[in-house]
A and B are shown apart, each in its own frame.
Chain A
Amino acid sequence: MGWLDLLRRRGARKAATGRTDQLLQKMAELYAQLPDNYWPELDIVPFAHRPVFDYLRLCWSGVALDPAFERKSLSSDFKMKGFNLSALFYLMAVALEVPLDRVWAFLSPSVPGADESTAAMFKKIMIMAESGMDEDRCLCGLAAGSVIDPRQGQYNRVRILAHVDNVAFLGQFAGVLVALRSQQLHDAIDVQFGEILEDPGWRS
């Protein structure tokens, strides 16, 4: 299953329909296939984040954490780059039903000059998913920056910083996403109106 399939199915319920044993099996298969999916022209493994996403889904379905897996490096063990991290954030946000604008605003740098690669890549994926593109390779190519990014996919090469370069960090980031989902009124960047009870006697 390509990750565009997941993009099309926005609902977390649909995204997490796989049975635990099936997911475990698929995760192992995907993990084994990682070296075969390397794209030398872009220096990325487009689906490198899939085993990690499947592991997270397993955890969310109630399977116990695997300490050894939690310690794995995203970059060296899974060959993930900045692009994969953004793609993974996107899949997590969709699966956890978090409004995507909130996630994008959260990832966007708040000071000029700060690294905007993760947020920019996330936004690209958002736009492409909304446009209904359905070719895995096309989407991956676009997201990788070789077509639409005038800077020739510089985001591909963004390295994942050492202090977040492990699977355990993603579990923590899922907590952030859940917090974003529960934002209300002024806290939520995408909420434009609030509703409140009327006070008929006030100012009368």
Chain B
Amino acid sequence: MAIVRIKLAAKQHPPFDKGLSERLLTILSGGAERWNAWRRSNPDAYIDLRGADLFSRFGEKITTGASFPLPGLDLHDANLSEANLARLDLTGADLSAAFAVNTDFRSCTLNEANLAGAYMTEANLTLARLNRADLRLACLSHSNLFMAEINGANLRGADLSYSHISRCEFVDTILAQANLEDASLRESDLSRANLEGANLTGASLVEANLANADLDGCRVFGTSVWKTNLDQTRQTNLIITPEGEPELTADNLKVAQFIYLILNNQEIREVIDTITSKVVLVLGRFTDERKATLDAVREQLRHHDYIPVLFDFTRPSSKSFIGTIKTLASMTRFVIADLTDARVVVQEIDTILHGFPGVPIQPLLLYGQKPPAVILDYTDFDTFLDIYLYKDKQELIENLMDQVIAPAERKITDVQRRRERLREQLFSEPAAPAP
């Protein structure tokens, strides 16, 4: 692709000249055509409109119903700092390389306008319309763009850091290589936007719509993506480390967020280790009368330093629990399945046995109750342990360690030893042949 050279706003300005500013406003009151002609004949004139209140000056024309259009107004290189341009129609205007610090552009129409290289830090663009505008290399840091329309615009290389961009529309907009560091893009619509190589460090994309957007090569350290729509979003080469650190990339925004969290938070790693080494999943149907049994089992598990996680099938539901069971089983040390009055757990047991062959299942059954017949099929599985029959809560609690926890732990040890043996057979160096 070809390179474009864009003029940037000057940062050094002469002292304010009120007389000059008044003369310029007089010319401007003649409309865009007269103004542009004057600028063409005075190409080197310094356009000093600092603090000019254009809204008040042309307000009458605005409030009488006929908006005051200044289409194609030539304000390139102008100094518009602290000026009030609210509600003006500046469609197609040229504000390239303009210096507009703390300028009021509220509800201003800037569709198709040229703002390339403009310096608009701390500008107020609330409800402004910037559709198809050219904002390449513009500086909009610390600006307010709440509910602005910026569809189909080009903000390549623009600086929007620390800006308030909530509920803004960026549909089909180019934001490639833009700096969105610590910007708030909450609930903004960025569908089909091109954000290639953009800096999203610390940006909030909470509830934003990024459907079909392109995030290739974005820096996403500390980016918030809660309830963000990432449908068909291109998420490749996302840099999850902050600037200045060795780059670590991932291809999924939410995974990237999680990976960095794990890598940089010892506490989170400990939590995950704790969960995977101590969680005991308890499956069953625990009606009110059997709730006491459950509470006692949970208390005993806690007493033995386990973390009981209960999955209660008491409330019938048409919803499938298989997905949830798979997630829980993947982080579980072993499973206690109470088959008493619980035909519904059969499907879940089946899922665990087939999907997680290393996780032991210790079935329980209240003495005198009949287990589902399909249980017989599970006896072929090595990790489906012998059913422990208990007479009452008291007996279950007294024998929980010997009859429930110990067999499960023995099976875990067996599984681990078997895996180690297999690993040795597969990966150890073959013995040298005898001479």
Number of A-B contacts (CB under 8 A): 65
CB-CB nearest in chain A for B172: A202
Query: In the complex, A173→B159 CA distance in Å?
Result: 27
Q: Which residues of chain A in 34-52 are interfacial with respect to chain B, using CB atoms and an 8 Å cutoff?
A: none
Chain B residues bordering chain A, tally (CB within 8 A):
26
A-contact 0/1 string along B1-22, CB 8 Å cutoff: 1111111111110000000000
Q: Which residues of the partner chain B approach A105 to less than 8 Å between Cβ atoms?
A: 11-12
Q: Which residues of the partner chain A approach B159 to less than 8 Å between Cβ atoms?
A: 185-186
B186 interfacial contact with A, CB 8 Å:
no
CB-CB nearest in chain B for A191: B8
A114 interfacial contact with B, CB 8 Å:
no
CB–CB A189/B11 < 8 A: yes
A77, chain B: closest CB distance, angstroms: 36
Q: Which residues of the partner chain A approach B154 to less than 8 Å between Cβ atoms?
A: 199, 202-203
Query: In the complex, A161→B348 CA distance in Å?
Result: 76
Q: Which residues of chain A in 173-204 are interfacial with respect to chain B, using CB atoms and an 8 Å cutoff?
A: 185-186, 189, 191-200, 202-203
Q: Which of B139, B152, B177 is close to A186, meaning CB atoms less than 8 Å apart?
A: B139
* Interface residue range, chain A: 10 to 19
CB-CB nearest in chain A for B152: A203
CB–CB B137/A197 < 8 A: no
B319, chain A: closest CB distance, angstroms: 46
A-contact 0/1 string along B150-176, CB 8 Å cutoff: 001010110100000000000000101
CB–CB A197/B8 < 8 A: no
Q: Which residues of the partner chain B approach A195 to less than 8 Å between Cβ atoms?
A: 3-6
Query: In the complex, A196→B154 CA distance in Å?
Result: 12
CB–CB B6/A194 < 8 A: yes
Q: Which of B1, B10, B12, B132 is close to A197, meaning CB atoms less than 8 Å apart?
A: B1
CB–CB B4/A197 < 8 A: yes
A184, chain B: closest CB distance, angstroms: 10
Query: In the complex, A26→B7 CA distance in Å?
Result: 47
CB–CB A194/B137 < 8 A: yes
Q: Which residues of the partner chain B approach A196 to less than 8 Å between Cβ atoms?
A: 3-4, 6, 136-137, 156-157, 177
CB–CB A186/B9 < 8 A: yes
Query: In the complex, A191→B1 CA distance in Å?
Result: 23
CB–CB A199/B137 < 8 A: no
CB–CB A194/B157 < 8 A: yes
- A198 in contact with B11 given A186-B159, A203-B132 (CB within 8 Å): no
Q: Which of B2, B8, B119 is close to A193, meaning CB atoms less than 8 Å apart?
A: B8
- A186 in contact with B1 given A196-B136, A196-B156 (CB within 8 Å): no
Q: Which of B3, B7, B119 is close to A192, meaning CB atoms less than 8 Å apart?
A: B7
Q: Which residues of the partner chain A approach B10 to less than 8 Å between Cβ atoms?
A: 192
B76, chain A: closest CB distance, angstroms: 14
A-contact 0/1 string along B192-223, CB 8 Å cutoff: 00000000000000000000000000000000
CB–CB B1/A189 < 8 A: no
Query: In the complex, A202→B9 CA distance in Å?
Result: 23
Q: Which of A185, A199, A200 is close to B156, meaning CB atoms less than 8 Å apart?
A: A199
Q: Which of A191, A192, A198 is close to B2, meaning CB atoms less than 8 Å apart?
A: A198
CB-CB nearest in chain B for A186: B139
A-contact 0/1 string along B67-100, CB 8 Å cutoff: 0000000000000000000000000000000000
Query: In the complex, A192→B5 CA distance in Å?
Result: 10
Q: Which residues of the partner chain B approach A202 to less than 8 Å between Cβ atoms?
A: 154, 174
Name 20 A/B residue pairs within 8 A (Cβ), A-sorted: A185-B159, A186-B8, A186-B9, A186-B137, A186-B159, A189-B12, A193-B7, A193-B8, A194-B8, A195-B5, A196-B137, A196-B157, A196-B177, A197-B4, A197-B176, A197-B177, A198-B1, A198-B4, A199-B154, A203-B154
Contact residues of A with B, CB < 8 Å?
A: 105, 185-186, 189, 191-200, 202-203
- Beyond contacts A199-B174, A199-B176: 19 other A-B pairs, Cβ-Cβ < 8 A, are A105-B11, A185-B139, A185-B159, A186-B9, A186-B139, A186-B159, A192-B8, A193-B6, A194-B6, A194-B157, A195-B5, A196-B6, A196-B136, A197-B1, A197-B176, A198-B1, A202-B174, A203-B132, A203-B154
